[in-house]
């Protein structure tokens, strides 16, 4: 059982298993330690992970530590949110946003 109050960290090494191979849609936050808007999103993502645990998996990937995945998806700005469904990216959003807006933007993919 995954602790839904914690947003899982994924890496270049486990991205395929945790994101591409996931049964649920996966919201990936491409983040960085030096990014204030990314830190601002942490409580939003934790709440989302808890409230939507049965419909959505929420993970984060540190772009500085995982350049392979970051480059593969051409991520240039932080935070970038990408939704993967069935192993494919189906939606991308850039920038911090309130939880309500994030949920509205995710409505068509989860």
Calculate the dihedral angle through the C-alpha atoms of 54, 20, 67, 79, rounding to the nearest 10 degrees: -30
**DSSP assignment of 57-99:** EEEEEETTT-HHHHHHTT--SSSEEEEEETTEEEEEEES---H
Query: Is 38 among the catalytic positions?
Result: yes
Q: Which of 10, 19, 26, 38 is catalytic?
A: 38
Set 35, 44, 48, 106: catalytic member? 35
Beta bridge partners of 31: 62
Q: Is 92 a catalytic residue?
A: no
Cβ-Cβ contacts under 8 Å for 7 (sequence gap 6 or more)? 29, 42, 45, 46, 49, 58, 59, 60
Task: Tell me which residues are annotated as active site.
Answer: 35, 38
């Amino acid at each position: 059982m995954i602790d839904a109050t914690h947003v899982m960290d994924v890496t270049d090494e486990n991205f395929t298993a945790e994101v591409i191979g996931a049964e649920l849609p996966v919201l990936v936050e491409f983040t960085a330690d030096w990014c204030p808007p990314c830190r601002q999103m942490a409580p939003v993502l934790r709440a989302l992970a808890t409230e939507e645990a049965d419909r959505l998996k929420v993970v984060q990937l540190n772009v500085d530590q995982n350049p392979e995945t970051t480059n593969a998806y051409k991520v240039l700005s932080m935070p970038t949110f990408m939704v993967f469904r069935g192993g494919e990216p189906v939606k991308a959003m850039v920038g911090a946003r309130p939880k309500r807006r994030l949920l509205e933007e995710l409505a068509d993919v989860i």
